[in-house]
Amino acid sequence: MQLTPEEHAILKGKSGPAAQKALQILETLGRIYGAERMIPVSSVQISGVSYANLGDAGLEWLSEMAEGGGQACVFTTLNPAGMDIENYLQLGISEEFAVNQRRVLDAFQKMGVVTTCSCTPYLFGNLPRFGEQIAWAESSAVCYANAVLGARTNREGGPSALAAALTGRTPAYGYHLDENRLPTLHVRVEADIKNTPDFGALGKAIGDRIQTSSTGRVPYITGIDSASLEHLKSFCASIATFGGVALFHMPGVTPEAGSHSRPVEELALTQVDLDQAKTALTTASPDEIDFVSLGCPHLSLREIQRVATLLDGKRVTKEFWITTSRPVKGMADRMGYTAIIEAAGARFATDTCCVVAPIEGRFTAMATDSAKACYYAATKNKFKTSLLPFDDVVREATQ
C-alpha cells in the first residue's frame, strides 16, 4: 500500500496518539483488503453508540481516543444511542445506564462528532452527493448511501468509521472502486410491492437468498416502478439485515442503475416468496401484542405527520414507541404533531431505537411495519413479532 509522506508522519505520531491509532487501523485494513492507497472522505457516520452494545470496553476506548487528542476533520454524525437523552426515565431506562450513555456521547462530542444519534443522517444534513467518497457505518444507511444516493462507502464498523473521521481518509477498496459496484445478479420481482412491509419483506426474500448464494452481492432489481424515500429506507434496512447487502441497483429508481447492464444470472421472486417472508416475520397472534413500535429506520417527518393524523383524538391502549431523530422531532414539536401523539398516550423515543435500547424481555410481542425491527426484536429482545402496514400498526396501538 502506497502512503503519502503525511500519512507516514501520522503513523509515526506527528498528529498525536489518537490519529496515529486511527491511521494504524486504516493502514491495516487497507493491507488486508488489498487497497493500493488511501482516499479522502468527506462524510462519516459512526455506529456503536449504545452503551448496551459498547459496554465498559467500548466506553474506555472512546474516552482514550478523546483524551489522545482525536478530532474529526470531516463532517461526522452518530448512530442511535441506547436511550432518549432527554426523556429516558419515562421510557424505563435506569439512571446508571444513563450516566454511562452520557459518557459515551461526551467522548464523541469532545472529538467533534455531531451527536445526532440517528440511523437516518441523510434526512438532516449528512447527505452525500452522487459519486462522493464517504465512510459510513450503520448497515441500513450504508445501503441507502450507496444505492439510493450513489455515494461510495464500504460497510464500516464503529472503530473504522471513527478512524476515518479522525484522519479524513479511508483505504480505497471494495465499494469505493468502480469494478466492485457492478451488479452481479438480476432479481426479477413479480409481486405487488406497494408499502413499507412489502419492501421490507422483499429485502428479506432477496437477502435470505443472496446470503446463501455464491453468485454475488450486488443485486440488480427489476419489477419495481417507483419507491418513496420511506419505502427505500425500509428496503435498505431489510436487505442489509438479512443479506448483508451494501449496494443494489434498481432501474428507474436508483441513480447508478442506468450505467450498468442487466446481469445474465437471474433470480425470480413471486408473490408466494413475498408472502412467505411476511409470514416468517409474523410470529405473534393478534391478542399477544403488548408493544407497538414505528421508526426502524428512524421516522421521517412525513411519517410522523401521518401518525398524528391517525391518532388525533384517539387513545392508545398499548405501549407505543415512536423512534426518530432529534432534528425531525423538533419539527414535529413545532407543527403540533408531538402534542397530538403524546395526548393519545404514545411516547417519543428520540435519539434511540428498539434495536439498541436495553429492552430485552420487557414485552411479549411487538407490532411494527419494519422487517429489520422484527429481526432484532426476535433475536436480541426475545419478542414475538407482527409485521403490518404502517396505518395498521397505529390502529393496533388503539385497539
Partner 1 sequence: MTFSKSLSGRTIFPGTTRGTALVSRMGISFYGGVDPETGIITEPGHDLEGQSLAGRILVFPSGKGSTVGSYILYRLQKNGHAPTAIVNADCETITAVGCIIAEIPCVDQVDLSQIKTGVPLTVNADQGKITLH
Query: Please, how many CA atoms are within 13 Å of residue 269, restricted to the half-sphere of its CB?
Result: 31
Q: How far is CA 79 from the centre of its chain?
A: 8
DSSP classification of residue 142: H
- 320 three-class SS: strand
Nine-digit cell at 4? Answer: 503519502
Of 65 and 189, the one with the shorter C-beta distance to partner 1 is: 65
Counted residue by residue, the chain has a size of: 399
Q: Please, which residue, 153 or 324, has the CB nearer to partner 1?
A: 153
Q: How far is the CB of 324 from partner 1 (least distance, A)?
A: 24
- The nearer residue to partner 1, 159 or 183, going by C-beta atoms, is 159
Beta strands in 34-151 (DSSP E): 38-40, 43-46, 75-78, 135-136
Nearer to partner 1, 46 or 117 (CB): 46
**Residue 172 to residues 23, 29, 32, 41, 245: CA-CA distances in angstroms?**
14, 10, 12, 10, 19
Instruction: Give me 382's grid cell.
Output: 426475545
CB of 25 or CB of 221, closer to partner 1? 25
Q: How far apart are CA 116 and CA 298, in angstroms?
A: 12
Smallest gap from residue 394 Cβ to partner 1 (A): 32
Q: How far is the CB of 159 from partner 1 (least distance, A)?
A: 5
**CB closer to partner 1, 173 vs 348:** 173
101 sits in the region (left: phi over 0; alpha: psi -120 to 50; else beta) called alpha
Report the 3 state secondary structure along 248-306.
CECCCCCCCHHHCCCCCCEEEEEHHHHHHHHHHCCCCCHHHCCEEEECCCCCCHHHHHH
CB of residue 259 to partner 1, shortest distance in Å: 29
Give the shortest CB-145-to-partner 1 separation in angstroms. Answer: 17
Catalog residues that contact partner 1 under the rule CB under 8 A.
21, 24-25, 28-29, 31-32, 47-48, 53-58, 60-61, 137, 157-160
- Give whichever of 23 and 187 is closer to partner 1, judged by the CB atom: 23
Query: Rounded to the nearest whole angstrom, what is the least distance from the CB of residue 204 to partner 1 in the complex?
Result: 20
Closest CB 355 distance from partner 1, rounded Å? 12
